[in-house]
Amino acid sequence: MDALACELADALDRLREEARRARAVEALGGSLDLDEVLARVADAAAALPGAAASIVRVQPPDGEPLLAASGIDVPPGSGHVVGVAPDGAPVRAVALSYHYRPGSEPADPLRTAIAVPLAGPEGPLGFVTVFGRGDGTPLGSEGFAALEAIAAGAAPAIDNARRRRAAGRHEAIDPLTRLGSRTAFHDALAREVARAHRSGSAVTVLVVDIDGLRALNEEHGHLAGDDAVRALGATIAHGARRGDIVCRIGGGEFGAILPDGGRIEAEAQFARMQAALGRRSDRRPRALSISAGMAELGPDDDAVSLLARAQAALKRAKERGRGTAAEGRTAP
């Protein structure tokens, strides 16, 4: 009777574990963040019975391979690669064993691994690998079946997330100036404001706009206006400090985020822009002039209010005339 009770208890434990893994894999579809998806897959694989650690390696549509690990530290740029069969035939799994040189074996070494492919619609997306410390295969038959189920459930979520990341990279670039886009600016501003509040550091927003861009378009055509926008973009990018974030956020309007910078740094950057544009104006249909508004982060600011103060300052600067700058007012 005791043996039957133990078997039933073991069976219930297995069912609970399988249900937990199924919920974890199902939850992957709710996230479109690629790093989060990979981390969840690595955690699920490392939690399998017999697994000491896991690594998920995915090749994005463009860029460097991405790695997520659980139970093991993977150095940046790690060369951990699991390949397909030499003849190109699809594989179900790849088994590995590790043999160390005399005197170089770590205290608690990883000795074996088994990797299963993450199958995408156009070929393998990568592999999820489970490592063991014993001499035998890290996973038994049930564990291997669970690893295949994790890979099968995770692959669509990984494919969706990596495609979204690739599309986001294209959306983040302004096609005319090749600077960051409006979307990239808002994302970066939210990130830098949160960082500044956490660390107590400064961050300032500088908003710059071409004076009379509409008149330039009407008098000389939109190609001349585009040329002016590109010129200002290049000028802002050239004069930015290392670490500043420069994006095009409107027709002739640009935003610069100055981490760890205040009003003095913003005023100096605006002066550099004016000087550089003055040197270039003799090659353009009409002299370019710019106005600017700037705002330094206050204790009650969020990204929205900080940008609103900078844009309100820009409006005041334009009302005063061409080629001026104004500082954003803090809330009363």
| Residues 23, 132 within the same domain | yes
Q: Is residue 193 part of a domain?
A: yes
φ, ψ of residue 270 to 5 degrees: the values are: -65, -40
| Residues 11, 153 within the same domain | yes
Please name the amino acid found at residue 292.
A
Q: Is residue 127 part of a domain?
A: yes
* Cα first-last separation, the chain: 77
| Residues 194, 161 within the same domain | no
| Residues 196, 251 within the same domain | yes
Q: Is 128 helix (H, G, I), strand (E, B) or coil?
A: strand
Task: Catalogue the long-range contacts made by 270-274 (C-beta closer than 8 Å, 24 or more residues apart).
Answer: 270/206, 270/208, 270/294, 270/325, 272/239, 273/208, 273/232, 273/235, 273/236, 273/239, 274/323
pLDDT per residue, tens digit, the chain (332 aa), is 465 555 555 544 554 555 555 555 555 544 557 777 888 888 889 988 889 999 988 877 666 778 888 888 776 555 566 766 777 777 888 888 888 888 888 888 888 999 998 888 777 888 899 999 988 888 888 888 888 988 888 888 888 777 766 655 556 788 888 888 888 888 889 889 988 998 889 999 999 998 888 888 778 888 888 888 888 888 888 888 888 889 998 888 999 999 999 999 999 999 988 888 777 655 554 567 889 999 999 999 999 999 999 999 999 999 988 888 999 876 54
133 in Cβ contact with 158 (< 8 Å): no
End residue of a domain, out of 118, 148, 171: 171
pLDDT of residue 22: 52
| Residues 159, 190 within the same domain | no
Q: Is residue 281 part of a domain?
A: yes
| Residues 44, 157 within the same domain | yes
DSSP string, 279-320: HHGGGSSS---EEEEEEE--TT--HHHHHHHHHHHHHHHHHH
Our measurement of the distance from residue 183's CA atom to the centroid of its chain's CA atoms, rounded to an integer in Å, reads: 13
| Residues 156, 210 within the same domain | no
End residue of a domain, out of 147, 171, 195: 171
Q: Is residue 313 part of a domain?
A: yes
295 in Cβ contact with 205 (< 8 Å): yes
130 in Cβ contact with 147 (< 8 Å): yes
The CATH number for 248's domain is 3.30.70.270
The CA distance from 177 to 182, in Å, is 12
pLDDT of residue 80: 62
| Residues 135, 214 within the same domain | no
| Residues 230, 130 within the same domain | no
Q: Is residue 26 part of a domain?
A: yes
End residue of a domain, out of 171, 201, 216: 171
Q: Is residue 222 part of a domain?
A: yes
Q: Go through 16-32 and write b for each residue having 16 or more CB atoms within 10 A of its CB, e for each that does not.
A: eeeeebeebbeebeeee
Q: Which residue range is the domain that position 75 belongs to?
A: 2-171
The tokens describing 264, both together, are: 């003095």
| Residues 148, 215 within the same domain | no
- Look at the chain and report how many structural domains it folds into: 2
The CATH number for 149's domain is 3.30.450.40
Q: Is residue 177 part of a domain?
A: no
In terms of C-beta density within 10 A (0-12 exposed, 13-18 middle, 19 or more buried), how is residue 202 classed? Answer: middle
**Half-sphere exposure (Cβ direction) of 117: Cα atoms closer than 13 Å:** 16
pTM: 0.52
Q: Which helix (H) or strand (E) holds 251?
A: none
| Residues 20, 159 within the same domain | yes
118 in Cβ contact with 127 (< 8 Å): yes
| Residues 141, 217 within the same domain | no
Q: Is residue 176 part of a domain?
A: no
The CA distance from 185 to 194, in Å, is 14
Give me the residues paired with residue 17 across strands: none
The CA distance from 229 to 156, in Å, is 41
